[in-house]
Amino acid sequence: MGNERLTGRPLCAYKEGMSQPNFCELDVLDLVPFGQSGKESRFFALRLTRPDWHIWQPGQFVMLRPDNFGLDLPWARPFGICHMTARHMICFFQVRGRGTQRMSRLRAGDRVRAWGPLGQGFVMEPDSPTLLLAGGMGIVPFVGYVNLHPKPWNVSMLFGHREHISCYPVDSINEHVPVDSLREQQSGDLDNFIYTIQERMRDLAEQQGLVLACGPTPFMRTVQTFAAELGVRCQLSLENRMACGVGACLGCVARTSSSWPDPHKRDSPVQVCTHGPVFWADHVVL
């Protein structure tokens, strides 16, 4: 097992116009376990044949439903798009429950139904100092982000994680932008991480920079609070439970704040799958 790089010439993003979500049946090319050798892996890079969409933005996601879900797991699962080339699409996942458990048993040639690219990705401002804040699997959209950023020297990343660093696709980011990683192992580590987030966000606020964050909800709440205190521009990516991914089932909603742009939709539930998953931090209530 190795912390392999998710390589290949990336496909264009941030083109003009909206991408249209598409449905396709993809084949598994391979499933690469990540993490320390000798241990059963719970982290995987899933490489699929390339779907027939051309434009995507990091932060957007795809619904995946492998054939081995059968009828007993009716829903597809949402995953960030990690990387896309002319030949393949890569998603990266951690085993959490029933669905990801079955995904960990996928083999080359297995079929996966996929629809995407879905939702709104992160903004990219090549000339703004940009701080990426990732918690655990929240690292995924940033692999594509740093790959596609035209001026990576303006970007840096702070990464908080619980498992060994080799479980995460950090090398794919490291080769473009510097990554400071902090592992949470004992009490005190979390406080230290939170303190570091605040300090780094303060720097960004002084530089009129941009903060982009992705990770578990408590982490997003912390970042949101700091963003408000420091007055720094900040986007957050939310992880809500999803069934359709296209705005139809109304299962994934988050509450907008009174700063939501459309006055009719303030203080109301909106679909995370279509209005998000990436939101401006002051637009939602967590």
Partner 1 sequence: MDLSLTLKGQVCDLHLKNPVLTASGTFGYGLEFSTFGDLATLGGLVVKGLSLKPRQGNAVPRIVETTAGMLNAVGLQNDGVEVFCTEKLPRLPWRDTAIIANIYAASVEEFAALAARLDGEEGVAALEVNVSCPNVKAGGALFGQDAHLAAAVTSAVRAAAPHKHIMVKLSPNVTDIALIARSVEDAGADSISCINTLLGMAVNLSTRRPALANVVGGLSGPAIKPVALRCVWQVAQAVSVPVVGLGGILSAEDALEFLLVGASAVQVGTGNFLRPDCAFALAAELPAACERLGITDVTAFRGSLQWDTAC
Ligand X SMILES: Cc1cc2nc3c(=O)[nH]c(=O)nc-3n(C[C@H](O)[C@H](O)[C@H](O)COP(=O)(O)OP(=O)(O)OC[C@H]3O[C@@H](n4cnc5c(N)ncnc54)[C@H](O)[C@@H]3O)c2cc1C
Q: Which residues bind partner 1 (CB under 8 A)?
A: 20-23, 65, 71-76, 113, 115, 240-241, 243-244, 246-254, 268-269, 274
Can you tell me which of 75, 196, 198, 280 binds ligand X, judged by CB under 6 A? 75
Among 242, 244, 254, 270, binds ligand X (CB under 6 A): 242
Is residue 68 at the binding interface for ligand X, with CB under 6 A as the rule? no
Q: How far is the CB of 251 from ligand FES (least distance, A)?
A: 5
Return the one option of ligand X, ligand FES, partner 1, none that residue 21 interacts with (CB less than 5 to 8 A, by type).
partner 1
For ligand FES, which stretch binds (CB under 6 A), given 18-26, 43-51, 242-250, 254-262? 242-250
Cβ proximity to partner 1: between 21 and 209 the closer is 21
Taking the least distance from each CB to partner 1, the nearer of 95 and 194 is 95
Residue among 106, 252, 270, 284 that touches ligand FES (CB under 6 A):
252
What minimum distance in Å lies between the beta carbon of 246 and partner 1? 5
Stretch that binds ligand X, among 20-28, 70-78, 109-117, 163-171 (CB under 6 A): 70-78
Dump the DSSP string for the chain: -------SPPPPBS-SSPPPPEEEEEEEEEEEEES-TTS---EEEEEEEPPS---B-BTBEEEEEEGGGTTTS-S-EEEE--EE-SSEEEEEEE--SHHHHHHTT--TT-EEEEEEEESB-----TTS-EEEEEEGGGGHHHHHHHHH-S-GGGEEEEEEESS-GGGS--HHHHTTS-EEEEE--STTHHHHHHHHHHHHHHHHHHTT-EEEEES-HHHHHHHHHHHHHHT-EEEEE-----SSSSSSS--S-EEE-TT-SSGGGTTSEE-HHHH-BEEEGGGEE-
The residues that touch ligand X, with contacts defined as CB under 6 A, are 61, 75, 77-80, 91-94, 96-100, 137, 140, 239-242, 277
The residues that touch ligand FES, with contacts defined as CB under 6 A, are 242-245, 247-252, 271, 273
